[in-house]
Amino acid sequence: MYKEKRSSRSEFVPIRGINYHVRHWGEAHSSLPPLVLVHGWMDVAASYQFVVDALADAFVLGRSIIAPDWRGYGETGSGGADNFWFPDYLADLDFLLDHYAPGQQIDLVGHSMGGNVAMLYSGVRPERIRKLVNLEGFGMPATQPSLAPTRYAKWMDELKTLHKGELALKPYTDAEGVARRLMRTNSRLSQDKADWLAQHWARPDAQGQWHIQGDPAHKVTNANIYRIDEVLAIYQRISAPTLAVEASDDSLGKWWQGKYTLAQYHERLQSVPQVSTAVIQDAGHMLHHDQPAQLARLLEGFLG
């Protein structure tokens, strides 16, 4: 199994009625800007372990690195919710920063869904962000208001499906089954890393069945349409230097089959006042698993 170079410690912070689980590497308190890492959909904070291990000692020295499990993921509870609203992630992050970095700017890194949260948060609270890194947080295809009625109807229908137990996540007989699932999803993931991730991505129940650490309510379609005019207005308020990182594999094209393209994403990025882009070679969407050393070098160079 993968051997950690830098072990994290677990902390639980009460945030908005939920006991938030946070992984913490490095110093508890530091004069350096804390590095905050936020994960994506159906992922967990431990997913960043490989990148943290790949960071140079000189970069990590004296620095506080924290990564929360979002609500309904990992060791963080869901608060009894049967669906999840995107603004809650922004508010949760705001409260977490009040706890870990009061009156201090941070460096913020977000992957996928977490990248989308990071971009929006950095435009809503620009004064709190020193530098921003977005890892494949592409956003969603633009929508039209005419789609709203059917979106609300779909949301309600899926809530009923959830409450019937029909959205439950498949259990696995052992951790090896979880690791195989991870490797099927990402062909670049090595066996040792898959075995390590499986121990954090899932947990066994009393009967020995392993369950993914993600609330099935995350599978419910969001009731709100994606309002691109609002998103771009928020992007325009980002004051931090921003690095948008993509994988060499075009995961956006694979997901949306031409409905939303990298060219359209790059056009949106033009709304960010100070933005540069980079590509991680020989990597897919889970680039922090595929090429942690490449990503670590990018982070060190950009965050300084």
Domains of the chain, start order: 9-142+226-303 (3.40.50.1820)
Contacts for 83-90: CB closer than 8 Å, 24+ residues apart: 83/155, 83/159, 83/162, 83/217, 83/220, 83/222, 83/223, 84/215, 84/217, 84/218, 84/220, 85/222, 86/116, 86/117, 86/120, 86/222, 86/224, 88/16, 89/113, 89/117, 90/117, 90/120, 90/121, 90/124
pLDDT at residue 253, as a whole number: 94
Q: What pLDDT band is residue 27 in, cutting at 50, 70 and 90?
A: confident
Per-residue pLDDT band for 28 (boundaries 50, 70, 90) equals: confident
Q: What is the pLDDT of residues 160-169, one digit of tens each?
A: 999 999 999 9
Taking residues 120-139, what's their average pLDDT?
Answer: 98
Q: What is the pLDDT of residue 280?
A: 98
64-104 per-position pLDDT tens digit: 999 999 999 999 999 999 999 999 999 999 999 999 999 99
Instruction: State mean pLDDT over 1-22.
Output: 97
Average pLDDT of the chain, as a whole number = 97
Check whether 31 has a pLDDT greater than 90: no
Do residues 23 and 76 lie in contact, with contact meaning Cβ atoms separated by under 8 Å? no
pLDDT tens digits, one per residue of 223-265 = 999 999 999 999 999 999 999 999 999 999 999 999 999 999 9
Q: What's the pLDDT score for residue 120?
A: 98
75 CB contacts (<8 Å, ≥6 apart)?
A: 10, 12, 21, 69, 213
pLDDT of residue 24: 97
HEC string of 193-260 equals: HHHHHHHHHEEECCCCCEEECECHHHHCCCCCCCCHHHHHHHHCCCCCCEEEEEECCCHHHHHHCCCC
pTM confidence score? 0.97
pLDDT at 196: 98
In this prediction, what percent of the chain has a pLDDT beyond 70?
A: 100
Give the model confidence (pLDDT) of 270-281 as tens digits.
Answer: 999 999 999 999
Q: What value does the mean pLDDT take over residues 108-132?
A: 98
